[in-house]
Structure 1
């Protein structure tokens, strides 16, 4: 027979611990409370209190200083005004190695140059993996941000040459096409003498470049804002997570994450399907073209790298690490050859290109334009330097 005692704290699974806490928020129809019920209520409240702070002792146990966390949400409110300035404030108050909690998840901040070098160079093989992508779905799930261990290293080794000087020069004509359209539009606005939203122009320009270079598709969002690619991109970037839902996810990850997997966001699923299908259509079209007709873009580079990897595997695979690459922690010195990039992984890298390049490029161009407009002397200096560079190259 089971005794009416709570199991020891370490034996309660995270899922059931969260269920006990959530149960305390459910209204009870009982009006009169007898001693037994009161005892159960006390146990529930005690469990709730224990759970709300149970994850917030990890940093202190290893001697890392951090702001006092609030129950359930940790230091989430510490960053309510943004991350950059508050990270600086955090380092100033708590030292070059400090930490914080977002919900129940622990984060460590390192600002010491010596330690950063040790982490990113000397001991990098121990730090290749990012946070586990619990709520990330395809195509982002197959991007290099979410790949782990040897697969991450293999895909990274394939992608790195795509950003060499030679490969970037091959992609320059595609970028110049979008630049020409942007300049024509800006000239029309300048001749009209009316105020206009420069950020909107840069939004369209960035989408044109990303669509052309990463997704291998001709996009003219500057002239055709109703293009399906443009509309889906804008819908994606306008989506945001409902804030109360975010707090629930951070506070009760073992319950909320499985629930969100069971009941996914339908709109998000449609958008993900659109981007994956766009890439797959482009891949089929490239295979139908002659080699001389294919565009020299990021997508084509991934396809070429994929084909080269298949050829290398057939001719004689070699999985030994290069001289400057240390094997990943916990792996054998000799691993079997990695399989070539899949279509899903190609779609993942293209989607990452969009995520990483859209907002950052648009914001940088917008602020740079504002600073040049308000500092004419700098504008003239930049123009001279650009003219000199163009004359040389």
Structure 2
């Protein structure tokens, strides 16, 4: 009896502590007098997450509600975690560039001990991120991209051969699926040195696991929210981000690739070669003068994994959305085609690394695509120290507080981009771009923590699109969805419920 009573008291005490903690969290902005929407006790302000609304739509609606307010940021509950939801572009610039030293961390959940593959460059914070960024920066220079370009071009040429075969069989194709196969083969070759053969094999292993890695997660919505809300506790409990079959596949592929290359002394001048070189360096001197050890095998696996996933889906989505808009806007498509032909004439009708850099209008099309169809909806940051917003002493970002910069919503702000739902590549002409703050366009982030693979993503997207437009004409048909229907089950990236079906004619 006494034991039962004691356990009851402990349960009541624990319930009181949990209730008080939750109450303090959910009244965080109310106590500070900062505008916010009343949160759900579990979902926070993420109502409709993975059910009826994409993350893009959730952030867009919230931004639209507050964008005309005078507040530089408003309160937002990412599940049970209070976050500063940035409205003012000048504050976004302070966070991403001017005060980067205070906002260099992302605060995204990873578990280096139980799920080493989650501890990659995109997720890491603090000294670990700085160290790894310094180690890997040299692998993404223009010189290294030029080394990789022949590999990208050879896959692109195989892509054209497959496209001609497909068009001969059927004039209506799912271009979203085909460009995904192209980017899988490019990344698989450059990151792993493996001929994935996704273009010709619908059941190719890399294609299958590339898709599953973005859809399959270790836990459901409830525990995902828990990891985002209580990352330190989740880490102690051993929660993992990646599904076991995803971990097993990429760990096996990377370790086998590294072992084979080292045993046979194979050199390919690709991303994997660069990672192996960093692994085999006993120590290296960074620009800061600091001497550090080379990469561990687990770090090699993690970086190869994120390079594959980031390069595969973001680039293929961008290419698919670009082709969709070019099909809907034939005058823009013809302008791109004319530019491709003109540039090729200047380069002896050969696609070279220098050639793709001269495709200025195509690059504007890609930039406008990334604005209109922002693949990742936001930029995450967390404050290291207390930060008082300049000119707004009432608005304080506390130490350890999460920050959401809603890039997709900013890209659709009519005060920044008039008629934001209209596809107009001229927005990214040098003249128009100069009239906007740099942080008004954030598909790759901004500042010292921008996307390290930016050059590679641009290289494969420009090469693939240039060859497609040169060889084929794209137009809409009865099977073309208008508007496109987005999939709310996509955790973060902008996913579609169906493909992008277009009429394709060989030129």
Moved more, 83-92 or 279-288: 83-92
State the Cα distance separating 1:342 from its structure 2 match. 1.2
SS at 2:210 equivalent: helix
Task: Indicate conservation of the 8 Å contact 2:178/2:199, yes or no.
Answer: yes
Q: Alpha carbons of 1:91 and 1:191: their partners in 2 closer, same or farther (altered >3 Å)? A: same
Instruction: Please list, as runs of the form range in 1=range in 2, the aligned pairs for 1:314-333 lying within 5 A after superposition.
Output: 321=288
* Shift in Å, 1:386: 1.9
1:303 equivalenced with 2:276 (yes/no): yes
Look up the SS of the partner of 1:353 in the other structure: helix
1:117 to 90, 93, 101: 93
Q: Output the CA distance in 1 between the equivalents of 2:65 and 2:205.
A: 43
Change beyond 3 A, Cα 1:242–1:187: same
Contact 1:236–1:271 (8 Å) recurs in 2 = yes
Is it true that 1:141 corresponds to 2:113 in the alignment? no
- CA–CA separation in structure 1 for the residues paired with 2:40 and 2:63: 21
Contact 1:90 1:98 in 2 (8 A): no
Segment drifting more, 123-132 vs 199-208? 123-132
User: CA separation of 1:168/1:253 partners in 2, compared to 1, >3 Å: closer, same or farther?
Assistant: closer
Q: TM-score, normalised by structure 1?
A: 0.73
- Residues 79-118 of structure 1 show CA distances to partners (whole Å, capped at 9, x for unaligned) of 6523332353254165331221122212112243332333
CA contact (8 A) 1:78 1:86 kept: no
Q: What's the CA shift string for 1:111-145, capped at 9, x where partnerless? A: 43332333223322222222152568534323112
Q: Distance in 2 between matches of 1:320 and 1:60?
A: 45
Q: Does 275-284 or 120-129 show the bigger shift? A: 120-129
Q: For residues 5 and 369 of structure 1, do their structure 2 counterparts lie closer, same or farther at Cα, with a shift above 3 Å needed?
A: closer
Please give the alpha-carbon distance, in whole angstroms, between the structure 2 residues aligned to 1:144 and 1:244.
26
Q: Give the distance between the partners of 1:69 and 1:112, measured in 2 at CA.
A: 22
Q: Which has the larger radius of gyration?
A: 1
Structure 1, unpaired ranges of 5+: 22-45, 323-335
Q: Is this contact kept in 1: 2:190–2:270, CA < 8 A?
A: yes
The answer for the alignment partner of 1:25 in structure 2 is: none
SS at match of 1:174: helix
Q: What's the CA shift string for 1:331-356, capped at 9, x where partnerless? A: xxxxx632211121121111111222
Residue equivalent to 1:96: 72
Which residue of the partner structure matches residue 331 of structure 1? none
* 1:349 corresponds to: 303
Cα RMSD over matched residues? Answer: 3.6
Identify the structure with the greater helix proportion.
Answer: 1
Q: 1:185 Cα deviation (Å)?
A: 1.8
Give the secondary-structure state (helix, strand or coil) at the position aligned to 1:186. helix
Q: Which residue matches 1:222?
A: 199
CA distance in 1, matches of 2:304, 2:222: 31
Q: What CA distance in whole angstroms lies between the structure 2 residues aligned with 1:227 and 1:343?
A: 26
- Counterpart for residue 365 of structure 1: 319
* 1:375 paired to 2:343: no
1:5-56, CA deviations, whole angstroms, 9 ceiling, x for partnerless residues?
999xxxx9xxx78x955xxxxxxxxxxxxxxxxxxxxxxxx77764553311
C-alpha separation in 1, matches of 2:150 and 2:95: 38
Structure 1 residue 71: deviation in Å?
2.1
Per the TM alignment, residue 296 of structure 1 is displaced from its structure 2 partner at its CA by 1.4
Would the alpha carbon gap of residues 20 and 369 (structure 1) be closer, same or farther in structure 2, given more than 3 Å must change? same
> Could you say if the C-alpha distance between residues 143 and 49 of structure 1 is closer, same or farther in structure 2, counting changes exceeding 3 Å?
closer
Paired residues for 1:27-106 under 5 Å: 50=20, 52-77=22-47, 81-84=53-56, 85-92=60-67, 95-106=71-82
Change (3 A) 1:139 1:276: farther
Aligned match of 1:389 in 343, 347, 369? 343
Q: Secondary structure at the match of 1:101?
A: strand
SS at match of 2:292: coil
Flag structure 2 segments of 5+ consecutive residues without an equivalent.
348-354, 356-507
Report 1 or 2 for greater relative contact order, CA contacts < 8 Å, sequence distance ≥ 6: 2
1:60–1:78 distance in 2 versus 1, CA, 3 Å: farther
SS in 1 for 2:192: coil
- So what's the TM-score if we normalise by structure 2? 0.58
Q: Return the offset for 1:156.
A: 0.7
**Residue 359 of structure 1: CA displacement?**
2.3
